[in-house]
Chains A and B, each alone.
Chain A
Amino acid sequence: MTDGPAPARGGGLFRALYLLLGVYALLVPAATALIAWLGVQGVVSPWVGLAALGAPLLLLTTATVLFARRRVARPLTELLRRIEAIARGELEGTLAIERRDEIGRLNRALNELAAYLVVAREARVDRRFLQRVIDAMPEALVVLDARGVIELHNRHFATLLGLDGSLTGVHVDSLVRNQPPGWATRVVRTAGVDNVEVDFGTADGPAITLLTSSAHLQAEDADAERTVLVARDTSAVAGLMNQLRQANAGLEESRQFFQNLFDAMEDPITVLAPDGEVMQANRAARAVFGRDVVGRRCYRAFRMRDSVCDGCPALQTYASRKSVSVEHRVFGNAITRISTYPLLGKNGEVRAIINHKRDVTKERQLEDLKANFLAAVSHELRTPLTSLKGFNKLNLRRLVRFVQPALEAAPHKVRVAFGKVLEDMQVMDSEAERLGRLVNDVLDLSKLEAGKLTLTMGEVDAGALVQGGIVATAALWRDKGLRVEAQVPEGCPPGWGDADRLSQVLVNLFSNAIKFTAEGRITAEVRVHEDVLRFTVRDTGKGIAPDDLGGVFEKFRQADGEGGAQIMKGTGLGLPICKELIRLHEGRIWVESTLGEGSAFHFTIPRADVLDDLERSIRAGPSITGL
């Protein structure tokens, strides 16, 4: 508004009108007086005088009316139309009235008004857009003025407070519940808040906890500074947090359960890191090794040594990823067994080692007692057995050598009776023989089960083992007219085991095969697998019923043999002994059979050529090392 007219100064239009009125005021009395004087003088007739007076007046009036019409009424009409248009919201377009008078000013004012209205309308559109944006926010947004009064807020804020209407103009302190008085003032004036849980609520409505942060909008004028609060409803998060807390509590409960379980173990149990550091210790371990055992090195904590112990089972477990058991004789007769088990990670690596210490003195004493008892019993059984069998045999020989020839002339009855005596004494002989084997097998098995039987491990020749088994049972299979074949691949690598014990297993399997095969053949095979040698003894015998397959390795299970009395009856301990022996070799023994077609007994032993020294030493079996 550069040339806005000062309202005190009169406009050009009024000045023109005043001029016309002034001319009227001067002309009318002057003309009237002139006509009156001329009339009195009789210069002119009164009509002419009147006409002379009226004509200019008429002219003047017509001029005035025309002027007013052109200069006032028409622009006013246009202005009116424009005002009506503005009222309808048609703000565009201006009137071209370039005048300095009131009409011109009115037009300019109208144009300014229209321009202002355009700006205002745009501002209103901006503000509505802004409102829509902040209403769309999932968070509550509140703009506070410098005093803490709400200047603007989004709908979400009102909704959270359970309101439909506007909270504009309300001091935010009146909506805050859990904060000290004057909270808003402090937020506005000082640092503000960052993720603070604030309870908002109207006086009569419910409160809601909002996680509130603030931002400050700086301005030159302190009164124009604004503070924006952004608040998030945390109840959904709170639900999640609650679930998390419950899950945590469950975890803690189960952790506590396992800790209690761990602590309830009577034996000292520790968890070792691969480097031997004690990571965890149960109560018994803390009692034995000291309360500060966790964090110390195992050899120091357990055995007061400065370096790794010889034959450290944890190291063996770490290297082999297998459980290892070692027994120590400590302090006189006490025997401690250390068992280590690997805790494997996702990729099969050893993450930790469980170390279980157990005092096995009593177990070993009991086992010794049992073994001594069994040894004594078997000796005591064997001695009379030896007498029985020996005297029976002597008598048989005497009868055959001396009595039989003398009876040739005896009556038939006497000779028949004598024949029966010989037969019965033969039965006594074979039964005494069986009793002897039974005593031996019981002794063997009890030693095996007590872990008293130590294997003498070494490289074994598979072919020689098979041939040895065939030769040892030659009397049996020849007697029954069976064929025996061996199939051992050329260049078969050596196995790792105790040759005598493996031979015992093979002889046992051959005897069994022969015992249950009336005709056909026995085949012994050796197959080379990746880590193991697999031995198979296959027969064409009567086979084993599916229901009986599972029990063949159990003690005192035996079926009737095929082919009559020349085959010795078994003790029912042969296969259980085989099973124990193969187990000691870390091998597997199993049977496949089809009833009526035959059976195949398989067992595996490690290949010697794939074992390293450590594995060889571990596979040597449980050992007792003295201190």
Chain B
Amino acid sequence: MSKRILIVDDENYIRLLLHRTLEELELEGVEIHFAEDGVVGLEKARALRPELMLLDVMMPRMDGLQVCRAVRRDPDLVGTHVVILTAKGQAPDLAPDEAPHEYLTKPFDPDQIIARAAEVLGIDLDFEI
């Protein structure tokens, strides 16, 4: 079964940027899914059980921290590695069992994102970054 990445961000271009950044992983059979707010993001997370979830913080309806908390508490989603994409200084204090596995600071470096994603998914990229 192919590996899945879920990108949750209300900004079109950020979703597009992340897609473009990670699209090379699609060549390795990785599925990339999208959600445009927290509520849809959580639904899709539960439905898809992605290996990697990239979460924006400020989103309508349900913000990234709430989504993160819900995902981390969901026993079905223990296999999901949650990355919160945050601006500098926005990292809130969360309890260890509610916190994301890691934070990546915006504006992010595409090379860094794909490198981390490949690492999390256990994929060896055969090209030089």
Task: Spell out A's residues near B (CB within 8 Å).
Answer: 378-379, 382-387, 389-391, 393-394, 397, 401, 432-433, 436, 440, 443-444
C-alpha gap A436/B105 in the complex (Å): 11
> Is B124's CB within 8 Å of the partner chain A?
no
> Is B11's CB within 8 Å of the partner chain A?
yes
**Do B17 and A382 touch across chains, with their CB atoms under 8 A apart?**
no
Q: Among the listed A382, A394, A443, which residue makes an inter-chain contact with B107, where contact means beta carbons less than 8 Å apart?
A: A382
List, in ascending order, chain A residues with CB within 8 A of B116's CB: none
> Is B79's CB within 8 Å of the partner chain A?
no
A-side interface mostly: helix
**Do B20 and A383 touch across chains, with their CB atoms under 8 A apart?**
no
**A-B contacts besides A397-B111, A443-B89, 16 pairs, CB < 8 Å:** A378-B87, A379-B58, A382-B87, A385-B107, A386-B14, A386-B17, A386-B106, A386-B107, A387-B14, A387-B17, A390-B21, A390-B108, A390-B110, A394-B110, A401-B127, A440-B87
List, in ascending order, chain A residues with CB within 8 A of B108's CB: 386, 390
> Is B109's CB within 8 Å of the partner chain A?
yes
List, in ascending order, chain A residues with CB within 8 A of B11's CB: 383, 387
Q: Among the listed A387, A397, A433, A443, which residue makes an inter-chain contact with B13, where contact means beta carbons less than 8 Å apart?
A: A387
**Do A389 and B107 touch across chains, with their CB atoms under 8 A apart?**
yes
- Nearest-neighbour CB distance to chain B for A448, whole angstroms, equals 11
- Nearest-neighbour CB distance to chain A for B15, whole angstroms, equals 10
Say whether, besides A386-B14, A436-B107, A379 and B87 are in contact (CB < 8 Å). Answer: yes
8 Å CB contacts to A: which residues of B86-129? 87-89, 106-111, 127
List, in ascending order, chain B residues with CB within 8 A of A394's CB: 17, 20-21, 110
C-alpha gap A382/B90 in the complex (Å): 13
List, in ascending order, chain B residues with CB within 8 A of A397's CB: 110-111
- Nearest-neighbour CB distance to chain B for A449, whole angstroms, equals 15
C-alpha gap A385/B87 in the complex (Å): 11
Say whether, besides A386-B14, A387-B13, A393 and B109 are in contact (CB < 8 Å). Answer: yes
C-alpha gap A379/B11 in the complex (Å): 12
- Nearest-neighbour CB distance to chain B for A389, whole angstroms, equals 5
**Do B87 and A432 touch across chains, with their CB atoms under 8 A apart?**
no
**Do B89 and A432 touch across chains, with their CB atoms under 8 A apart?**
no
Task: Spell out B's residues near A (CB within 8 Å).
Answer: 11, 13-14, 17, 20-21, 58, 87-89, 106-111, 127
Q: List 14 A-B contacts (CB under 8 A).
A: A379-B87, A382-B87, A382-B106, A382-B107, A385-B107, A386-B17, A386-B108, A387-B11, A389-B107, A390-B14, A390-B17, A391-B13, A394-B17, A444-B89
**Do A393 and B58 touch across chains, with their CB atoms under 8 A apart?**
no
- Nearest-neighbour CB distance to chain A for B125, whole angstroms, equals 12
C-alpha gap A394/B20 in the complex (Å): 8
**Do B110 and A393 touch across chains, with their CB atoms under 8 A apart?**
yes
- Nearest-neighbour CB distance to chain B for A574, whole angstroms, equals 14
**Do B17 and A440 touch across chains, with their CB atoms under 8 A apart?**
no
**Do B88 and A440 touch across chains, with their CB atoms under 8 A apart?**
yes
C-alpha gap A491/B26 in the complex (Å): 56
Query: Which B residue's beta carbon lies closest to that of A393?
Result: B110
- Nearest-neighbour CB distance to chain B for A550, whole angstroms, equals 30
- Nearest-neighbour CB distance to chain B for A157, whole angstroms, equals 93
List, in ascending order, chain B residues with CB within 8 A of A386's CB: 14, 17, 106-108
Q: Among the listed A378, A383, A433, A443, which residue makes an inter-chain contact with B14, where contact means beta carbons less than 8 Å apart?
A: A383
Say whether, besides A379-B58, A383-B11, A383-B14, A390 and B87 are in contact (CB < 8 Å). Answer: no
- 8 closest pairs, A vs B, by CB? A386-B107, A390-B17, A387-B13, A389-B107, A440-B88, A386-B106, A393-B110, A436-B107
C-alpha gap A582/B11 in the complex (Å): 38
List, in ascending order, chain B residues with CB within 8 A of A390's CB: 14, 17, 21, 107-108, 110
C-alpha gap A394/B109 in the complex (Å): 9
- Nearest-neighbour CB distance to chain A for B128, whole angstroms, equals 8
List, in ascending order, chain B residues with CB within 8 A of A387's CB: 11, 13-14, 17
C-alpha gap A401/B89 in the complex (Å): 34
C-alpha gap A494/B106 in the complex (Å): 34
C-alpha gap A384/B11 in the complex (Å): 9
C-alpha gap A433/B88 in the complex (Å): 13
- Nearest-neighbour CB distance to chain A for B27, whole angstroms, equals 14
- Nearest-neighbour CB distance to chain B for A426, whole angstroms, equals 14
List, in ascending order, chain A residues with CB within 8 A of B20's CB: 391, 394
List, in ascending order, chain B residues with CB within 8 A of A444's CB: 89
**Do A391 and B87 touch across chains, with their CB atoms under 8 A apart?**
no
Query: Which B residue's beta carbon lies closest to that of A440?
Result: B88
List, in ascending order, chain B residues with CB within 8 A of A384's CB: 13
List, in ascending order, chain B residues with CB within 8 A of A382's CB: 87, 106-107
C-alpha gap A443/B89 in the complex (Å): 9
List, in ascending order, chain A residues with CB within 8 A of B127's CB: 401
- Nearest-neighbour CB distance to chain A for B88, whole angstroms, equals 5
- Nearest-neighbour CB distance to chain A for B78, whole angstroms, equals 30
